[in-house]
Structure 1
């Protein structure tokens, strides 16, 4: 081996060693920043959407070093769940992107059942004891109705953390939606977040004030304000009505208003501020 080749080999080895050391330092730093948990986080998209709406937030978590494991749960129109990808044993902070084939379903109880089907599928395969959930818009009803239907079922994983983004808990003010989910006119909230008028689905959701396990769930409520107390689709008053449903019994309840160019309803799931808020809430030590 000539001196030139030997020096080239030694130089390359040095570069590789530095890269390995740098990667090890980076992984150690990540481990110091984020909880090293096997609890999965499920992402639910909004109405008329798909798992593609979740990819920006999920990609942000991966870039931050939160996790290296992302799988997908495809839910058919009949509620059958097909998993795409595998969660390795011991995977840290795995993420499940949930996709509903019937993405315009407005029966919230059905959303709860579909979410349960996903959770049960994960439980059978991986035996998880706890989960987190993130919802955007209509996707929030998967979390709420999972809690309504199974909040005291010890056979299912415990919902530890919930991130609500652009939720329409007190109703939508669209003309063509059913009366049961329409936002009442002149809607206002008191200091506890209680609406002055409640539609049928909100009255149903108030069961959580009696049944939600005490001091178990931590909730982060993110909502956009482009001006006029609305995200352009959902009035802030509807999003903030989540407080009355869960704050009384939750371990913690936090609200955060998002403003600026990407505060619109359909852009919140692609908003860097939202990314930072949910990463901090779900995984930061």
Structure 2
């Protein structure tokens, strides 16, 4: 009798733990009515950074009433994506904070593969049909090389926010203050290899689909940069996307709080994000 009771007790405990795991884990499209209506906004952090860099921006959207849901996606160096948290019924614009474990990898192409793995995971889990992205620094290159892949089987990208993007170089590495020259279209006189790798987007980017907001910082110290990236490098995005984007706009943030690493914690940036993603 004691042995039978022990077995029954253990079975009950296991069942209870299984139930708790389901409640605390990720839900799927099977749990959500109208799953295809959910349009998440994915945040991609910069080199050497993490989801912590995305927190202020994400919570500003929550505080503005755009969503109540923040999910975290952790991407391993092998491209395996784990979701923490889940979408909630009726909250159609959830946030997904994406964290790359290989955050010191310097390959933009690899970051693009990890971005794709994240989108695929959301598609498999929630039958996602469309989404938005916000990138800071190297996170922008993850977005751009994801777009370069041009896989039309994946969800539709609707809105793209680029913050402090170093599309054509970084100060002290392959650029210097006030050296880079752009023509009227935003085309650099001298193109870095990674920028050249993105030129195909001028032909392959889905036409009239993506609304783009490009935010860059100017410390106001005469360098015309955010201290790490020249404004010209950030603005070179225009040449890659403006001709095919649904819309393209640039916004400059000026002052000490426009420094490269402070832009993701800048209330002016938060306001621009809220306005752009709301409409």
Establish whether TM, by shorter chain, passes 0.5: yes
Instruction: Indicate which of 240, 247, 255 corresponds to 2:242.
Output: 247
Q: Distance in 2 between matches of 1:110 and 1:163?
A: 20
Paired residues of 1:134 and 1:164 also in contact (CA < 8 A): yes
Between 1:235-244 and 1:75-84, the stretch displaced more is 75-84
Q: Distance in 2 between matches of 1:207 and 1:76?
A: 28
Deviation at 1:241, TM superposition (A): 0.3
Is residue 282 of structure 1 aligned with residue 260 of structure 2?
no
Paired residues of 1:41 and 1:96 also in contact (CA < 8 A): yes
Q: Distance in 2 between matches of 1:54 and 1:100?
A: 13
Q: Distance in 2 between matches of 1:40 and 1:74?
A: 16
Deviation at 1:282, TM superposition (A): 1.1
Q: Secondary structure at the match of 2:203?
A: helix
Q: Distance in 2 between matches of 1:88 and 1:65?
A: 15
Gaps in structure 2 of 5+ consecutive residues? 1-36
- The residue correspondences of 1:182-201 to structure 2 (distance < 5 A) are 182-183=174-175, 186-201=179-194
Q: Summarize the Cα distance change of 1:183–1:207 in structure 2 as closer, same or farther, 3 Å threshold.
A: farther
> What residue in structure 1 maps to residue 155 of structure 2?
157
Is residue 256 of structure 1 aligned with residue 254 of structure 2?
no
Q: Summarize the Cα distance change of 1:242–1:136 in structure 2 as closer, same or farther, 3 Å threshold.
A: same
Q: Distance in 2 between matches of 1:188 and 1:75?
A: 36
Moved over 6 A (4+): none
Gaps in structure 1 of 5+ consecutive residues? 1-36, 176-181
Is residue 237 of structure 1 aligned with residue 232 of structure 2?
yes
Instruction: Indicate which of 170, 194, 205 corresponds to 1:172.
Output: 170
Is residue 218 of structure 1 aligned with residue 219 of structure 2?
no
Deviation at 1:88, TM superposition (A): 2.3
Q: Distance in 1 between matches of 2:129 and 2:76?
A: 25
- The residue correspondences of 1:81-96 to structure 2 (distance < 5 A) are 81-96=81-96
Deviation at 1:184, TM superposition (A): 7.9
- What whole-Å deviation, never above 9, does each CA across 1:41-70 have from its counterpart, x for those lacking one? 000001111000000001111111110011
Deviation at 1:147, TM superposition (A): 0.5
Deviation at 1:260, TM superposition (A): 2.5
- The residue correspondences of 1:1-285 to structure 2 (distance < 5 A) are 38-150=38-150, 153-175=151-173, 182-183=174-175, 186-227=179-220, 228=222, 229-283=224-278, 285=279
Q: Distance in 1 between matches of 2:75 and 2:211?
A: 26
Q: Secondary structure at the match of 2:86?
A: coil
Deviation at 1:38, TM superposition (A): 2.3
Deviation at 1:261, TM superposition (A): 3.1
Q: Distance in 1 between matches of 2:114 and 2:70?
A: 20
Between 1:88-97 and 1:56-65, the stretch displaced more is 88-97
Paired residues of 1:183 and 1:199 also in contact (CA < 8 A): no
Q: Report the count of equivalent residues.
A: 240
Q: Distance in 1 between matches of 2:193 and 2:256?
A: 34
Paired residues of 1:184 and 1:197 also in contact (CA < 8 A): no
TM-score normalized by the length of structure 1: 0.82
Q: Distance in 1 between matches of 2:256 and 2:145?
A: 32
TM-score normalized by the length of structure 2: 0.83
